[in-house]
Structure 1
Amino acid sequence: MCGIVGAVSTRNIVPILVQGLQRLEYRGYDSCGVAVHEGGGLQRARSTSRVAELMSQVAEDHIEGGTGIAHTRWATHGAPAVHNAHPHFSHGTGADADTRPGRVALVHNGIIENHDELRAALQAKGYVFHSQTDTEVIAHLVDSVYDGDLFEAVKATVRQLRGGYAIAVFCKDEPHRVVGARAGSPLILGVGQEGAGGASGGENFLASDAMALAGVTDQIVYLEEGDVVDVQLGKYWIVDKAHKPVTRAVRTVRAHSGAAELGPYRHYMQKEIFEQPRAIADTLEGVIGIVPELFDGQPREDGTHVAAWRVFKEIDSVLILACGTSYYSGCAAKYWLESIAKIPTQVEIASEYRYRDSVPNPRTLVVTITQSGETADTLAALRHAQSQGMTHTLTVCNVATSAMVRECELAYITRAGVEIGVASTKAFTTQLAGLFLLTLALAQSKGRLSEAEEARHLKAMRHLPAALQAVLALEPQIISWAEDFASKENALFLGRGLHYPIALEGALKLKEITYIHAEAYAAGELKHGPLALVTSDMPVVTVAPNDALLEKLKSNMQEVRARGGVLYVLADADTHIQSEEGLNVIRMPEHYGELSPLLHVVPLQLLAYHTACARGTDVDKPRNLAKSVTVE
């Protein structure tokens, strides 16, 4: 969601800016733009199409410069339209403010909560607004306090902002200078190398994601909450939230852009579904035994880290905070944590938890789950929990350098690799793998996991990649189902127990990329309302593993059939459910016990994918959605 790239160099920086935007396209966006310092003034191009169209516009208009900023926007304030696209310019005041070129160019991720009152104050000073965005307010505000020093102007500006933001800004009066600031949204500094790419004088960069700078620099400084950074040729300096000078560590981060190659697949989502056996294998690589040390904190600058075994000994409950797909992985983990580790577990939607009164317990392990590690609501919920005195924190995250990993005591880094498709697939299954390991580690630390049980679980986990390959082989049968679903506008998903969260995830996948309205229910709730919706036009997908709830689930299926509903059942081989009129069955290759959710979700991913293909939707970039949700 929203991407920033900025640069200061002696060469034409526009190709790097636009290439950086291309690497951030996977996050989702509805407009894009670039602005540079050229000939003593500002020049920009903006588009509501894809970055490829922006590239053509840049070439046609001969936009070149050594200092610039670029942005992909996911609309919050104002519709997706060129006049709302970033970068925004300030336009000064007075009678000719509408036409006079501005002196400040700015891009922004996040939401400014007090933009209305700031807008009113600026309009009273004579500023004219050309967009409905909260971002243009910041550009005018910087202009209003500018007195020859952009760094000081930005520091004065951020003191007046309420909300979340990452900004990059430059001024026509100060060539070779870009200033950035962050609070609640990620922003990094890329330190260039002398002479790189034909540049001289030491170019430097800003970006919202290290991937934007892949192949440009691998020397990355992660800005902390409240930091303001002044970026110039061959130098930079940073002040913290109190505006005191501070030094941040330079880390070597190799963000491989090659991970984003599509290869022989039609879409990234399809590629990522089929990458799951390898992603699970990578996530479990090096796991020889179940030990708390798997979850140790990341090394600090002084070389120390928090030891997980000490934390695990102290906690007596678990609180899981997450959003979207990650929330459903947490719901599945609750079943494991309570049945295997015998630890009371609560799962909360992050955006709800932070705004309600709750009863804190300092002996709780707060577990955050996030693919990007930058999800705004989950970060805010983490900080809220910490402010309540719950300091034992652990994240299951796919990005080792993310804010979430830096702010939590403990971490388990999944190894899903870069996930381009907005609808999460391999990130979800690797989260489940990490959460199952956490369950076993907690059970062991509490003396509730015998050696025989540990050996059995480890054997099952090592079998997962092969088991996933067998499930992927079911694709032709799932394509047949997708042909039926393509003409539908509603669908119902049912599951019981541990597989109810998998039904929720299946419904989410279908609605995300096919735009078919889909709902999921615990199957026992069918007669408490949803049964009223069942007709022959409402396909009912049922997750039916051979577990203790199977016979109850069969009764729920009969309730559907008695109302003329058509069932699509994912059944284990030994469930004795046979295909017949109105009852379509795909048999899973084997029964997977406690790990069954990781396997049963894959056919649901494929069903959503192939239904979307049949309906002709934009699979990887579904409308109105973004990959990394960095605003509330």
Structure 2
Amino acid sequence: MCGIVAAVAQRNVMPVLIEGLRRLEYRGYDSAGIAAMNGSGEIQRTRAVGKVENLVEALNGQPHEGLSGIAHTRWATHGVPAEHNAHPHCSRDELAIVHNGIIENHQALRAELIEAGYHFDSETDTEVIAHAIHHKMAQCGDLLEAVRETVNRLEGAFALVVMDRRDPERLITARQGCPVVLGLGIGEHFIASDVAALLPVTRRFIFLEEGDVAEIRRETLKIFDLDGNTVERPEKESQLSADAVERGDYRHYMLKEIHEQPRAVADTLAERLTEDRLLAAAFGPKAEAAFENIKGVHIIACGTSYHAGLIARYQIEQLANVPVSVEIASEYRYRNPVVPKDHLFVCISQSGETADTLAALRMAKERGYRETLAICNVPESSLVREAGLTLMTRAGPEIGVASTKAFTTQLAALAMLALALGKAREQISPEQEAELVRDLRQLPAQIEAALDLDAPLKRLAELLVDNRHALFLGRGAQYPVAMEGALKLKEISYIHAEAYAAGELKHGPLALVDEHMPIIALVPDDELSEKVRSNLEEVRARGGRLIIFAAEDTGFEADEHSHVMILPRGVSKLTRPALYTIPLQLLSYHVAVLRGTDVDKPRNLAKSVTVE
């Protein structure tokens, strides 16, 4: 959520800041702003509600440039989307700040600052930080010390960058719970909340750790830990190219990312599988010994990642013969979970900075799980750095807010986890392992084949475009696939959609079924297919409109009330959930396009949820 870009250089930084904001638009936002030091030694600030292009238009009316500056895209938390609430915020025209996160004790601090004579122009918690730093600065006379003392009083999560007009060649940044990356140049340095913002200007990065405060100048940078000691953080070179986050010839990022899934899944499996076995090193050198003694698995995630965890439960219990529980991270962290002996804690996150998931991991480490494992797409993320074991999904940058390739690569990673646990616990034979590995190696080609349904799904989308509601049905591991399908439809088309285990229809949802209610059902060729057929007959008898995704030879035929999309039969249980996900992604995409919604940046949503 929100995006930060900042720079101090020997050139005009305005183009760098604007391009950085454009590259962070995928994170979700409702306003944008920029502040730079002009030639008169003053902070010149411009803000606009809406898209970054609105900010660019405003700048065209009052152009300015500077050798240092800060910029921000805001996703509203405290205060409505409005220009006076947009970042950067200033304190008495001497200090400007941009901020990601939420400050939980902002009201108490605001009361103190009002009593000290400060006037507030916004309803945000960010302006509180600006005035608090300014107030400390008046007492100690040094911006770095003022920032350090102020952040020690802040409760909540934050990433911030501060600029002082009295020292224009210096920026101060700090992080607690929200990511900050430093970009390294020659005679220039940069700050951002995501490497994607800085790829056009550098490939060399330093990732701040929890509690770090850094001082950035053109030629130097210094990093301090929680205790104020100077520390060294490793420099890393990004393997992403500047065009890795470009849309190319696709109409939307989401469509591009749907079609990238065969390669993303293949990359996730690569170097971890031989022709007939899973390599022991896939989860790191400590994993094999740790997995041998696992007696249960606890999976924590949010949103789409939570659905991946629900699918993994079926696979792990089947292959490893251990109990698996799956929880939403925001619920787990606010109860008193019982931790059975020798349990593996698995946290799943695309960004690795999801606030609830990260807090759950830290809580789990305190509670004594045998081992913690992070499944994530961002190698430098907080989740990866803090977990005991890691498995990277290699999906590459995902710009569309509605997750697609991040989800299917998570499914591939979790399938390997199920296989690894089954091997370590001697629940599967070498022959079974070889068969399962061959199944996994076929998954990219299966996804490629499913993408061939794009044209008929585009026509099918016309049947849903005018609906206000939809039901998704599945049984077994297809039930969480149905949940993911419903989530995709609701988040990008704004059609209310819900998913149910098909056997639950008669326990309530059947009351919703009439000729106006589309029912999307998933029917692979498994032991539950006849059960689902019976459930769908209940719908048919009540006039419901059926859209059925069924395996070949399952016997479903289209009629005036039913539309049938055929998928391959004989697909392994291990890969079936990913295969059936693809047409649901495409269907949701085409419905959203027909409805004219903002597919890549749906309203009210953010890509990286770094606040509670």
- TM-score scaled by structure 1? 0.94
Measured in 2, the distance between the counterparts of 1:437 and 1:480 equals 36
The CA RMSD measured in Å over matched residues stands at: 1.2
Measured in 1, the distance between the counterparts of 2:602 and 2:512 equals 26
Who is 1:84 aligned against?
85
Shift of residue 362 of structure 1?
A: 4.8
Measured in 2, the distance between the counterparts of 1:501 and 1:134 equals 38
Measured in 2, the distance between the counterparts of 1:598 and 1:282 equals 15
User: Which secondary structure state, in structure 1, belongs to the residue aligned with residue 299 of structure 2?
Assistant: strand
Matched, 1:292 2:292: no
Measured in 2, the distance between the counterparts of 1:242 and 1:565 equals 64
Measured in 2, the distance between the counterparts of 1:383 and 1:391 equals 14
Matched, 1:568 2:551: no
Aligned partner of 2:404: which letter?
T
Who is 2:611 aligned against?
631
Matched, 1:514 2:514: no
Which region of structure 1 is more displaced relative to structure 2, 451-460 or 611-620? 451-460
Select the residue among 575, 578, 583 that pairs with 1:598: 578
Who is 1:216 aligned against?
201
Q: Please show how residues 45-444 of structure 1 align to structure 2 within 5 Å.
A: 45-91=46-92, 102-147=93-138, 148-193=141-186, 202-286=187-271, 287-288=273-274, 289-296=277-284, 307-390=286-369, 392-444=371-423
Give percent identity, aligned residues only: 53
Measured in 1, the distance between the counterparts of 2:417 and 2:480 equals 18
Structure 2 unaligned segments of length 5 or more: list them: none
User: Which secondary structure state, in structure 2, belongs to the residue aligned with residue 251 of structure 1?
Assistant: strand
Q: Would you say how many aligned residue pairs link Structure 1 and Structure 2?
A: 605
Measured in 2, the distance between the counterparts of 1:249 and 1:586 equals 51
Who is 2:532 aligned against?
553
Whether the aligned pair in 2 keeps the contact of 1:432 and 1:598 (CA below 8 Å) is yes
**Residue deviations 1:335-368 (CA, integer Å, cap 9, x gap):** 0000111121110100000000110235111111
Measured in 2, the distance between the counterparts of 1:247 and 1:109 equals 24
Matched, 1:488 2:436: no
Who is 2:593 aligned against?
613
Aligned partner of 1:529: which letter?
G
Measured in 2, the distance between the counterparts of 1:59 and 1:341 equals 61
Aligned partner of 1:151: which letter?
L
Measured in 2, the distance between the counterparts of 1:40 and 1:322 equals 47
Whether the aligned pair in 2 keeps the contact of 1:23 and 1:257 (CA below 8 Å) is no
User: Which secondary structure state, in structure 1, belongs to the residue aligned with residue 320 of structure 2?
Assistant: coil
Shift of residue 439 of structure 1?
A: 0.6
Whether the aligned pair in 1 keeps the contact of 2:206 and 2:236 (CA below 8 Å) is yes
**Residue deviations 1:226-249 (CA, integer Å, cap 9, x gap):** 111111121111111122222212
User: Which secondary structure state, in structure 1, belongs to the residue aligned with residue 87 of structure 2?
Assistant: coil
Structure 1 unaligned segments of length 5 or more: list them: 92-101, 194-201, 297-305
Measured in 1, the distance between the counterparts of 2:446 and 2:294 equals 34
Who is 2:18 aligned against?
18
Measured in 2, the distance between the counterparts of 1:56 and 1:192 equals 29
Measured in 2, the distance between the counterparts of 1:189 and 1:278 equals 30
User: Which secondary structure state, in structure 2, belongs to the residue aligned with residue 122 of structure 1?
Assistant: helix
Whether the aligned pair in 1 keeps the contact of 2:375 and 2:413 (CA below 8 Å) is yes
Measured in 2, the distance between the counterparts of 1:417 and 1:222 equals 18
Shift of residue 15 of structure 1?
A: 0.9
Whether the aligned pair in 1 keeps the contact of 2:319 and 2:421 (CA below 8 Å) is no
Q: Structure 1 pair 249/389, CA: closer, same or farther in 2 (3 Å)?
A: same
Who is 1:199 aligned against?
none
Which region of structure 1 is more displaced relative to structure 2, 551-560 or 484-493? 551-560
Measured in 2, the distance between the counterparts of 1:345 and 1:469 equals 31
Matched, 1:446 2:447: no
Measured in 1, the distance between the counterparts of 2:190 and 2:444 equals 40
- TM-score scaled by structure 2? 0.97
Measured in 2, the distance between the counterparts of 1:489 and 1:150 equals 54
Whether the aligned pair in 2 keeps the contact of 1:573 and 1:590 (CA below 8 Å) is yes
Shift of residue 536 of structure 1?
A: 0.9
Measured in 2, the distance between the counterparts of 1:469 and 1:208 equals 34
Measured in 1, the distance between the counterparts of 2:172 and 2:524 equals 56
Measured in 2, the distance between the counterparts of 1:280 and 1:248 equals 32
**Residue deviations 1:356-398 (CA, integer Å, cap 9, x gap):** 0110235111111111111111000110111112251111111
User: Which secondary structure state, in structure 2, belongs to the residue aligned with residue 182 of structure 1?
Assistant: strand
Shift of residue 5 of structure 1?
A: 0.9
Aligned partner of 1:235: which letter?
T
User: Which secondary structure state, in structure 1, belongs to the residue aligned with residue 470 of structure 2?
Assistant: strand
Measured in 2, the distance between the counterparts of 1:500 and 1:589 equals 19
Who is 1:302 aligned against?
none
Measured in 2, the distance between the counterparts of 1:69 and 1:291 equals 46
Who is 1:196 aligned against?
none
Measured in 2, the distance between the counterparts of 1:256 and 1:479 equals 32
